[in-house]
Structure 1
Amino acid sequence: MEPLLSPPIINPSQKISVIAPSGALREWERFDNGIKIWRDRGYELNIPSELSQPWGYLAGTDQQRCQQFIDAWNDPETGAIAFARGGYGSMRLLEKLDWSKLNDRPKWLIGFSDITALLWAIAKYKNIMGLHAPVITTLAHEPMRSQQQLFDVLEGKLNQSELVGDRLVAGTAQGVLMPANLTLATNMLGTPLCPELDNVILAIEDVAEPPYKVDRMLTHWRWSGHLQKLKGIAIGRFSQAEISTPSLTMQEVWRDRLSDLGIPVTMNLPFGHDGENLPLPLGCLATINGDRGTLTWQRQNS
């Protein structure tokens, strides 16, 4: 995989479209607080009047959510699409979305967790970078550093950053950065819209997945041959993973499933759920240093 095309930088004179492609929006106070942060920066936000029309656990039918995405992507005044929340549902859009209806003008997609499916699909189908970063409902709970870095990346003020975690497997490597929610990425393996993973540094996070489930997903990656393609693995936060039954620790799972691959692995990096979620530009060039426990990304503005 080669580095992807970076969308143009944006500024507060441009419009940001807000859509809900996944779970039904119920955290309205958190949503309003996130919207305020964007508006305080001077951005005009385009929020559909029917942003969330709950259909069970989804923010609307597949058709409604697909149309929201198409309208936001094709809007000539929209410089970026900020997703309201994650949850579940964006993978359903990939099955139904008519990709021929999307124009070829690159723009930023901003989100994480369930939004992984759309970030990876745009990388595969359009060869365009996305930004793995807080969604609207989590933005106000972020520390100032991650809020500032999110806007600095979008506005072209930050083209390189180093995340510091802990060492797991020694070595250094360079490759294309592909951040993801591990569950979503696992479920995309083998589908037509899964990007190529050769020459990739995979950065993973998840929530409410105990060690045995993480073990199961990584074992699937091993058996399918995809882990063996990677240049390195950067592990973020795996929160709410505690279980009451006897268990391997998460670190023991990492070491058992990843230490024999011959690639550098770092862990406890500051991205993911329930804590600081520093932005990671999906598709940029990155360096992983397993001796220092760091992940460094860099990109060129278009």
Structure 2
Amino acid sequence: MTSIDAWKQPPYIKPGDTIVGISPSGAIKDLAAVEKAREIVRSQGYNLELDKHWNAHYGYLGGTDEQRREALLEALINPNYKGIIAGRGGYGVARLLEEKDWETILRKYPKWMIGFSDITSLLWKLARVKIHSIHGPVLTTLAKEPKWSLKRLFNYLEGHPLPPLQGQGWGNGQAQGWLLPANLTVATHLLGTPLQPPLDGVILALEDVGEPPYRIDRMLTQWRLMGAFDGVKGIALGRFSRSNGSSDSWTVEEVLGDRLGDLGIPIVSELPFGHDGVNAILPVGMKVMLDGDEGILTRV
């Protein structure tokens, strides 16, 4: 694997800069949440502009592929925009990445991309070309973040140190690697495609929502059968919300323990990221140390 030093970091932002909101995935339904997000961004000293297609609807998508592709391209090449934040998750980013020479475009215009859930597709595409991005809140969830989580986001965007995160350690010591966050469902569908970055040497960070335990089992079993965990150095687990099974089901915690517990690598669970709760940012490509004994994820 290429040295982690080969990663390219977008320029840090500063108060007065403009962040643009786009809808590369699903259509936005909560307009009030977007206005609250605008207020939060402004309160931090930044401007928030919304792309002209930000509120488009095309079935379950936030506009046609052409509209959403145009919005992503404009967000990247417009010099007035210093950062990009997705409006929401849902589904649709992978459709945009089928066409165009995105690798050349992303390398030429490195900017902070912020989002999670379906935005995993774009974060992983950026990781393939070794450009840092941010797994974190989208516009429709930004107002739900506590003050410390918002501070973590904006401080990092300005270049300040990132505090560690505390979870529940499963043992197996410590490991270092570059951080690769993802929504488990989206990431599973990216395995073996041109959007999947190399997994050797990574600290994988996984979360999901609305997937019952047997589906979590099925996805993790696919990773095992593909040998996708073979080069992974450690796994950081966030929230797996709304993952209830039937009365005779294992819990999602039991499934995670069964499918991951024998990998022999450091694992930390109950970290504060994912859907339906605090979504502390995780910088993609940041070199981190995962302590499976103490339950800590920290920057190296």
The normalised TM-score by structure 2 is 0.95
Matches within 5 A, 1:80-159: 80-99=83-102, 100-101=104-105, 104-125=108-129, 127-157=130-160, 159=161
- How high is the sequence identity, in percent, across the aligned residues? 50
Structure 1 runs of 4+ aligned residues shifted over 6 Å read: none
How far apart are 1:243 and its partner, in Å? Answer: 2.5
Letter in 2 for 1:284: M
1:188 matches 2:190? yes
Q: Which residue of 1 aligns with 2:230?
A: 228
CA distance in 2, matches of 1:204, 1:115: 13
CA distance in 2, matches of 1:134, 1:187: 22
What is the CA deviation profile of residues 34-67 of structure 1, one whole-angstrom value per residue up to 9, with x for unaligned ones?
A: 1110012221222123312211000011111011
Q: Which residue of 1 aligns with 2:74?
A: 71
CA distance in 1, matches of 2:289, 2:106: 32
Q: 1:101 to 1:297 in 2, by over 3 A?
A: closer
What is the CA deviation profile of residues 231-260 of structure 1, one whole-angstrom value per residue up to 9, with x for unaligned ones?
A: 000000000111234111222112211122
How far apart are 1:156 and its partner, in Å? Answer: 1.0
The question of whether the paired residues in 1 share the 8 Å contact of 2:18 and 2:49 is answered with yes
The question of whether the paired residues in 2 share the 8 Å contact of 1:66 and 1:97 is answered with no
1:166 matches 2:178? no
Q: Which residue of 2 aligns with 1:48?
A: 51
The question of whether the paired residues in 2 share the 8 Å contact of 1:54 and 1:60 is answered with yes
CA distance in 2, matches of 1:38, 1:252: 39
- In structure 2, stretches of 5+ residues that fail to align are none
CA distance in 2, matches of 1:48, 1:185: 27
Q: Which residue of 2 aligns with 1:279?
A: 281
- In structure 1, stretches of 5+ residues that fail to align are none
CA distance in 1, matches of 2:106, 2:277: 34
What is the CA deviation profile of residues 58-82 of structure 1, one whole-angstrom value per residue up to 9, with x for unaligned ones?
A: 0011111011000110011211101
Number of aligned residues: 296
The normalised TM-score by structure 1 is 0.94
How far apart are 1:17 and its partner, in Å? Answer: 1.3
CA distance in 2, matches of 1:17, 1:68: 10
CA distance in 1, matches of 2:106, 2:78: 10
How far apart are 1:101 and its partner, in Å? Answer: 4.9
Secondary structure of 2:298's partner?
strand
Q: Which residue of 2 aligns with 1:266?
A: 268
Letter in 2 for 1:184: V
How far apart are 1:181 and its partner, in Å? Answer: 0.6
CA distance in 1, matches of 2:113, 2:299: 18
